[in-house]
């Protein structure tokens, strides 16, 4: 065991102890964050416009600060982007994290000197928690790869602009710089195919121990490695024992990953967003990710079933319950107030507060009043492939409202690595799980409003071809698992397996 790995274990245990101190005092921790944010917010244009000086408690806050999204804060953000100070947060941001929006075009999410360290610290702590629990720090002696966007930053009126992953690349700790791959030059390559080919070339001769990224794009990297060598990932990298990921529910992809890797490994899930690092997996045995209550974010929650009501219930952490689907609302030290990032979550534990991401509030199917959400389709697919050799590369679901014949149905577009022997049997299993989870869907089937779902097989590489066709191939881009329209489905019709 190297000196670095020996020192990592006691340090990891110390950090875990510090984190659980605030995690075990959740309401006091959030109260302190709330008071800090409101106090600082008083000095801003937003705070003055919303009478922050009169806010004494959370009830006061709710009366003055509306729930909003990027469009709702757009007039303030535009002022920040133009160079104005003290608008949403004191001074000016350190960075703008550039993200793509459906209605807003490019979105510029501010990251401040107060919020940036919380992103870095949470990512670090996720690895330290793994070390503290497993007492395995051997991976620090090997090479680590983080599949991410380009670290090349632009200038936007004196503020640096880039993708969050590219911004984070500038904060790799000195003690990990020698372990980090790919090289800076390779990381700067914009074309994803070229970049992955170069990453394969750089990593093949190395002792890779940690690999991180969005599963669908890491899969591309794995497939290229296997194609080049004819070996499984565990044969190429025998010391690769855990995978760090975020952005999607990993369960539907797990079979495929373990087939590519050639052995079972550990996984560490992260929940980073440009707006804040929200949670990370703190245990290999407990479900969910530890909510970051001490990272300059005051959280609010709205039951997803009420979100589109005129006056939805709006609560703080102390009133949440396990198993309820909530829209998560952020108030941050980057100056985002009452901000809906669009995600839905459930609490898996209240001591400490752990969550899992269940989907997107705008990604649902309710063409017939069924209110199907991401968590349900992911579970249904996982139920159908569990214990089988079926491997799924990617999938998405859409309603077929006007079929050529017969009743409407939900259409599942699935790209298989290993196909089922009987596609109709698999569709039946998925449908049974959907009916068990969602009473509205079951009633529509029973009432002959819908027929059972239909699976369409997408050709190998079809989803990647689709993503290329819309200019979103690689990096942090993800396919929505479901949508209430056929914008994706109709185009995918060109990528079906014959």
Cβ atoms 273, 107 nearer than 8 A:
no
Question: What is the pLDDT averaged over residues 280-298?
Answer: 96
pLDDT > 70? residue 26: yes
pLDDT > 60? residue 142: yes
How big, in percent rounded to 5, are the helix, strand and coil portions of the chain? 40, 25, 35
Q: Is 124 left (phi over 0), alpha (psi -120 to 50) or beta?
A: alpha
CATH 3.40.50 residue spans of the chain: 1-358
- Name residues whose C-beta falls within 8 Å of residue 136's C-beta, 6 or more positions apart in sequence: 130, 241
Alpha helices in 50-191 (DSSP H): 58-64, 70-81, 116-134, 164-168, 174-177, 184-187
Measure the CA–CA gap between 154 and 150, rounded to whole angstroms: 11
pTM beyond 0.85, yes or no: no
Question: What is the pLDDT averaged over residues 108-134?
Answer: 95
Cβ atoms 79, 86 nearer than 8 A:
no
pLDDT, tens digit (0-9, with 9 covering 90-100), for 375-404: 889 899 999 999 898 999 899 999 998 888
pLDDT, tens digit (0-9, with 9 covering 90-100), for 436-459: 988 889 988 988 889 999 999 999
- Model confidence band, residue 49 (pLDDT cutoffs 50, 70, 90): very high
pLDDT > 70? residue 124: yes
| CA–CA–CA angle 269, 20, 168 (5° rounding) | 45
CATH 3.30.300 residue spans of the chain: 364-495
pLDDT > 50? residue 283: yes
Instruction: Please tell me whether residue 226 adopts helix, strand or coil conformation.
Output: helix
pLDDT at residue 487, as a whole number? 86
- Model confidence band, residue 110 (pLDDT cutoffs 50, 70, 90): very high
- Model confidence band, residue 165 (pLDDT cutoffs 50, 70, 90): confident
User: What Å distances lie between residue 421 and 260, 291, 390, CA to CA?
Assistant: 20, 41, 9
The average confidence (pLDDT) of the chain is 90
Cβ atoms 341, 273 nearer than 8 A:
yes
pLDDT at residue 44, as a whole number? 98
CATH number of 364-495: 3.30.300
Q: Is 286 left (phi over 0), alpha (psi -120 to 50) or beta?
A: beta
pLDDT at residue 103, as a whole number? 46
Cβ atoms 314, 341 nearer than 8 A:
no
Residue 45 burial by CB count (10 A; 0-12/13-18/19+): exposed, middle or buried? middle
DSSP 179: T
Instruction: Please tell me whether residue 333 adopts helix, strand or coil conformation.
Output: coil
Provide the 10 A C-beta neighbour count for residue 408.
16
Give percent above pLDDT 90 in the chain: 63
Q: Which fold has domain 1-358?
A: Rossmann fold (3.40.50)
Instruction: Please tell me whether residue 304 adopts helix, strand or coil conformation.
Output: helix
- Model confidence band, residue 473 (pLDDT cutoffs 50, 70, 90): low
Which tops the pLDDT comparison, 102 or 165?
A: 165
Render 335-390 in DSSP notation, one character per residue. S--SEEEEEEEEEEEETTEEEEEEEETT-EE-TTS--EEHHHHHHHHHHHHTTSS-
**Residue among 173, 172, 157 nearest 96 (CA):** 157
**Residue among 35, 81, 98, 112 nearest 334 (CA):** 112
């Amino acid at each position: 065991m190297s000196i670095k790995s020996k020192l990592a274990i006691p340090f990891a245990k110390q950090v875990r102890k510090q984190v659980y101190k605030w995690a075990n005092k959740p309401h006091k921790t959030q109260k302190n964050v709330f008071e800090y944010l409101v106090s600082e917010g008083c000095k801003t244009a937003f705070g003055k416009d919303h009478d922050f000086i009169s806010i004494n408690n959370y009830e006061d806050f709710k009366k003055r600060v509306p729930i909003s999204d990027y469009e709702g804060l757009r007039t303030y953000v535009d002022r920040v982007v133009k160079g104005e100070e003290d608008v949403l947060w004191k001074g000016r941001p350190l960075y703008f994290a550039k993200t793509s929006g459906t209605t807003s075009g490019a979105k510029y999410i501010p990251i401040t000197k107060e919020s940036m360290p919380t992103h870095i610290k949470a990512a670090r702590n996720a690895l330290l928690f793994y070390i503290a629990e497993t007492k395995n720090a051997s991976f620090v002696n090997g090479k680590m790869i983080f599949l991410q966007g380009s670290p090349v930053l632009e200038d936007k009126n004196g503020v640096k602009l880039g993708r969050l992953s590219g911004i984070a690349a500038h904060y790799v700790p000195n003690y990990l710089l020698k372990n980090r791959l790919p090289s800076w030059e390779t990381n700067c390559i914009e074309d994803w195919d070229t970049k992955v080919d170069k990453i394969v070339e750089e990593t093949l001769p190395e002792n890779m121990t940690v690999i991180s990224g969005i599963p669908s794009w890491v899969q591309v990297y794995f497939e290229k490695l296997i194609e080049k060598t004819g070996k499984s990932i565990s044969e190429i990298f025998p010391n690769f024992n855990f995978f760090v990921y975020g952005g999607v529910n990993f369960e539907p992809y797990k079979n495929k990953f373990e087939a590519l890797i050639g052995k079972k490994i550990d996984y560490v899930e992260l929940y980073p967003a440009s707006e804040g690092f929200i949670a990370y997996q703190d245990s290999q045995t407990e479900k969910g990710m530890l909510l970051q209550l001490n990272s300059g974010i005051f959280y609010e929650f709205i039951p997803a079933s009420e979100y589109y009501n005129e006056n939805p219930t709006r609560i703080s952490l102390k009133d949440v319950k396990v198993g309820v689907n909530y829209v998560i609302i952020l108030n941050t030290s980057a100056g985002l107030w009452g901000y809906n990032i669009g995600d839905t979550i459930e609490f898996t534990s209240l001591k400490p507060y752990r969550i899992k991401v269940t989907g997107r509030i705008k990604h649902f199917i309710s063409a017939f009043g069924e209110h199907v959400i991401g968590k349900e389709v992911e579970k249904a697919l996982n139920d159908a492939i569990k214990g089988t050799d079926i491997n799924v590369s990617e999938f998405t679901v859409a309603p077929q409202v006007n079929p050529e014949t017969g009743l409407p149905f939900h259409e599942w577009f699935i790209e298989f690595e290993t196909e089922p022997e009987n596609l109709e049997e698999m569709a039946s299993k998925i449908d049974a799980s959907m009916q068990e989870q969602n009473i509205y869907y079951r009633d529509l089937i029973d009432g002959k409003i819908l027929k059972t779902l239909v699976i369409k097989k997408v050709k190998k590489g079809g989803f990647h071809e689709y993503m290329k066709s819309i200019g979103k191939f690689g990096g942090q881009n993800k396919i929505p698992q479901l949508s209430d329209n056929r914008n994706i489905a109709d185009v995918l019709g060109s990528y079906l397996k014959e």
